[in-house]
Amino acid sequence: MFNTQQLFSWRGTLLALFVAFSTPTQASAPVPAGKDAQIRAGIERNTKGKIVVRSISSTPINGVYAVETPTEVFYIDGTGRYGFAGAALIDMQNQVDLTASHLEKVQRIKFDDLPLTHAIKEVRGSGARKLAVFEDPNCPICKVFTKFVDQLDDVTVYKFMFPVIGPESIPLARIAWCSPDRGVAWRAIMAGQRPMGARQDCDTTGLVEILKTGERYSIQNTPTVILANGKRLVGATPPEVFMTELDNASR
């Protein structure tokens, strides 16, 4: 039996586990036969018959209908095309998370608005492609990402020390920030070393500004990559996806 959890498997998540966003305060009313048939036909067409519809009923929200399957209940519009998956609005016909697409645009950051003067700048080859990354010294994925980026050519990388995972990250970031060569010190720390020679009386205003930037743009996870076109990539991004996004952002 097909389960709606399989419907959006292309995203690798359980987006198709439709849940209610409000609890009905009255008994659901039957749907007119014509509308019932329209919704059923839409679901049939947009899911290629993989969802078995047991019944369709109205909800307190005009134009939103409850669809009961043998195992679940999900909510959909009157055309049978748009459904709700948690907080996400899904276009089932094109298999697109419309909420994610909108959110991606909202979360873009103008690259030149980043405090680039406070970043560790690394240029390889022509440096034509550019990216910024917010890293925590205790972030395992950040360390993997560093090794990956080291293999790239023709790229300019701006690394921001972003000690947010826990209190133990702050002194490590301060050691790197207050070292004679921040880039060398940061790379050593990301490799699990603890470099010596950091000044005790150095000005950490720039480090504070980086943290404020993260707060301003709701950067909460590491690594968070900002591409030249302002798009952000959070966490572990598959290499092939990352390279495509990097190239697209540099055109």
Dihedral (CA of 175, 176, 182, 188) sign: positive
- pLDDT, residue 247, reads 96
- Residue owning tokens 């000005």: 203
Question: 44 in the Ramachandran plot: left (φ > 0), alpha (ψ -120 to 50) or beta?
Answer: alpha
Domains in the chain (CATH in brackets) are: 4-99 (no CATH), 111-249 (3.40.30.10)
Residue in this structure with the two tokens 């959006």, named with its chain if needed = 8
110-147 pLDDT per residue, tens: 999 999 999 999 999 999 999 999 999 999 999 999 99
What's the pLDDT tens digit per position in 152-167?
999 999 999 999 999 9
